[in-house]
């Protein structure tokens, strides 16, 4: 049993799988490609199963809330009831297309989701008023650049003055692109470092220790 | 130090401005958004370069070209990204191109089926011959990678549970190498980067993106290096595209509201900063 749980088995699986993925990304070898497709299908299956595990986990969490009689327990119970209702109606044939499921999705889920998203407009407006203050030179530069970007993104900007979108596009094309590229390269190099650590078994969390 | 009555009054006004009740802000936001929708202002909408690049590319695609359409957006962001997806799909149908809808977002394909397809003006188009919806693709990037290598390996059936091999359009489409274009309408950075890595780099599939406005700083560098052929900048990009194609719709109608809303936000930022500067002057004056 201790052999199965040995970290070297985990490291071996990770290394071989990752090597196959990277190798077939750059070289087209049919035999290896079929093996990689099998592995990717397995990952897809695992991902689908985790959705189910997420639902079970959520139900267990709600049960603990009810057991501990927390103030938010009724909301957890409501959430679990709604989740089970969607699952049950979704399983009515045809799967995920029954009138009951579609009614709940179109008349509850979609309006609720869009309302949550739409509320951001109010929060953005009030947070802009409170937080966007030029307290330093850097924040002043950010504020000025942000203003030009705002007027580039909205049609009224070019109506007020064609110079506004011209400056905004220049900011987008040069300083913003340069900074974004630098950030993306740093993220990519950091990811490369972490990946090498995982492949070489130096990342303990991944090897199960 | 003695505070004059005028100095105290000024300070009270400053305090009131700095602690402005959010309900007043919300009121002005509601007016700014509602008024142009009820009574449109008709502001001109100039076309930006990234939008024009997408239009030109699709116009130059030969009839019958296969286009992957990634509906990577759920119900929440549908009001911002949905119009981009709708107008791009409409342009594909206008030019007799063949879209294949896929989504790695749980309800993306369902949203496309319920909220995009019914809006299409596509006389004579037949499902299975002129377009296909392959539904939800689980597994995020590994799923997308497997789909790119061999479509039927992870999608043996379509959204309606019809075997993919029975669909007329899919007889000559086996992998991403058979796609002439990939259109990714997405609400997050992660989704279009997946397609960039697995389609654009591995199979040289041209990619265009319908993105939210807050994604543009991260997306624009890919446009500048031509890894992404073009992008639609949220509702603004969708409105520009509606004008280019002549199918005016929700996006073009909403842009007036977007303009007035952002003017209100700009005014709030200016007022907040003026109040801050006025307080600094008041403090300096009291200090001297």
* Residues with pLDDT less than 70, chain B: 1-11, 287-288
Q: Do A117 and B79 touch (CB under 8 A)?
A: yes
Phi/psi of residue A54, each to 5°?
A: -60, -40
A9: CB partners within 8 A, 6+ apart: A3
Q: What is the mean pLDDT of residues A46-71?
A: 92
Q: How far apart are CA B89 and CA B287, in angstroms?
A: 64
Sheet holding B66-72, edge to edge: B132-136, B98-103, B66-72, B181-186, B207-211, B230-233
Question: In the prediction, which pLDDT does B4 show?
Answer: 47
pLDDT tens figures, A112-159: 999 999 999 999 999 999 888 888 999 999 999 999 999 999 989 999
Q: How far apart are CA A98 and CA B53, in angstroms?
A: 41
Question: In the prediction, which pLDDT does B2 show?
Answer: 43
Q: How far apart are CA A117 and CA B71, in angstroms?
A: 18
B242: CB partners within 8 A, 6+ apart: B83, B87, B248, B249, B251, B252
Are B175 and B203 in contact by the 8 Å Cβ rule? The answer is yes
Question: In the prediction, which pLDDT does A24 show?
Answer: 85
What residues in A contact B139, CB-CB < 8 Å?
40, 43-48
The residue ranking higher by pLDDT, B106 or A3, is B106
**Mutation target vs A (from B75, B112, B270; most A CBs, 10 A cutoff):** B75
Q: What is the mean pLDDT of residues A23-29?
A: 84
pLDDT band, very low/low/confident/very high, at A20 (cuts 50, 70, 90)? confident
Element (H, E) at B71: strand B66-72
Question: In the prediction, which pLDDT does A209 show?
Answer: 61
Q: How far apart are CA A67 and CA B261, in angstroms?
A: 47
**Mutation target vs A (from B217, B234, B260; most A CBs, 10 A cutoff):** B217
Q: What is the mean pLDDT of residues A175-181?
A: 94
Q: Do A172 and B216 touch (CB under 8 A)?
A: yes
Phi/psi of residue A106, each to 5°?
A: -75, -30
Task: Report CA-CA distances (Å) from A22 to A30, A189, B198.
Answer: 15, 16, 12
Q: How far apart are CA B103 and CA B191, in angstroms?
A: 10
pLDDT band, very low/low/confident/very high, at A81 (cuts 50, 70, 90)? very high
**Closest by Cβ to B153, choosing from A37, A46, A143:** A37
B197: CB partners within 8 A, 6+ apart: B141
Are B37 and B257 in contact by the 8 Å Cβ rule? The answer is yes
Question: How far is B23 from chain A, CA to nearest CA, in Å?
Answer: 9
Interface list for A 71-130 with B (CB within 8 A): 94-96, 102, 105-106, 109-110, 113-114, 116-118, 121-122, 124-126, 128-130
Question: How far is A93 from chain B, CA to nearest CA, in Å?
Answer: 12
The residue ranking higher by pLDDT, A206 or B205, is B205
Question: In the prediction, which pLDDT does A175 show?
Answer: 94
pLDDT band, very low/low/confident/very high, at A1 (cuts 50, 70, 90)? low
């Amino acid at each position: 049993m201790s052999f199965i749980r040995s970290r070297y088995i985990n490291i071996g699986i990770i290394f071989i799988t990752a090597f196959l993925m990277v190798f077939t990304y750059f070289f087209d070898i049919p035999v290896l490609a079929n093996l990689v497709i099998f592995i990717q299908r397995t990952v897809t299956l695992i991902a689908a199963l985790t959705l189910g595990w997420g639902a079970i986990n959520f139900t267990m969490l709600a049960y603990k809330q009810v057991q501990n009689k927390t103030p938010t327990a009724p909301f957890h119970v409501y959430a679990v009831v709604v989740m089970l209702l969607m699952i049950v109606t979704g399983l009515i044939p045809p799967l995920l297309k029954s009138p009951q499921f579609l009614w709940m999705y179109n008349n509850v889920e979609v309006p609720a989701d869009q309302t949550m998203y739409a509320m951001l407009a109010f929060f953005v407006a009030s947070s802009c008023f409170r937080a966007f203050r030029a307290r330093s030179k850097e924040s002043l530069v950010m504020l000025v650049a942000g203003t030009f970007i705002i007027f580039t993104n909205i049609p009224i900007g070019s109506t007020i003055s064609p110079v506004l979108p011209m400056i905004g596009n220049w900011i987008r094309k040069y300083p913003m692109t340069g900074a974004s590229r630098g950030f993306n390269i740093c993220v990519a190099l950091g990811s490369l470092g972490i990946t090498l650590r995982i492949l070489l078994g130096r990342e303990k969390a991944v090897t199960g220790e | 130090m003695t505070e004059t009555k005028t100095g105290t009054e000024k300070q009270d006004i400053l305090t009131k401005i700095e602690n402005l009740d959010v309900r007043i802000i919300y009121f002005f936001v509601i007016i700014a958004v509602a008024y142009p929708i009820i009574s449109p202002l008709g502001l001109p909408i100039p076309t930006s370069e990234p939008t024009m690049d997408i239009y030109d590319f699709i116009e130059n695609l030969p009839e019958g070209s296969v286009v992957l359409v990634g509906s990577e957006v759920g119900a929440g962001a549908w009001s911002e990204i949905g119009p981009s997806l709708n107008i791009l799909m409409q342009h594909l149908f206008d030019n007799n191109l063949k879209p294949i809808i896929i989504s790695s977002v749980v309800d993306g394909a369902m949203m496309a089926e319920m909220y995009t397809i019914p809006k299409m003006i596509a006389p004579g188009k037949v499902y299975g011959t002129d377009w296909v919806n392959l539904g939800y693709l689980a597994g995020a990037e590994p799923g997308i990678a497997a789909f790119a290598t061999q479509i039927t390996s992870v999608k043996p059936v379509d959204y309606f549970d019809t075997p993919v091999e029975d669909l007329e359009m899919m007889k000559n489409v086996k992998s991403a190498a058979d796609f002439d274009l990939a259109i990714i309408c997405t609400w997050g950075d992660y989704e279009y980067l997946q397609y960039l890595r697995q389609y654009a780099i591995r199979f040289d599939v041209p990619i265009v993106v319908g993105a939210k406005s807050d994604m543009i700083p991260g997306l624009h560098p890919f446009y500048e290096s031509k890894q992404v052929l073009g992008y639609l900048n949220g509702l603004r990009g969708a409105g520009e595209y509606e004008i280019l194609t002549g199918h005016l719709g929700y996006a073009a109608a909403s842009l007036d509201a977007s303009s007035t809303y952002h003017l209100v936000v700009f005014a709030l930022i200016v007022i907040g900063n003026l109040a801050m500067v006025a307080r600094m002057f008041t403090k300096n004056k009291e200090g001297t």
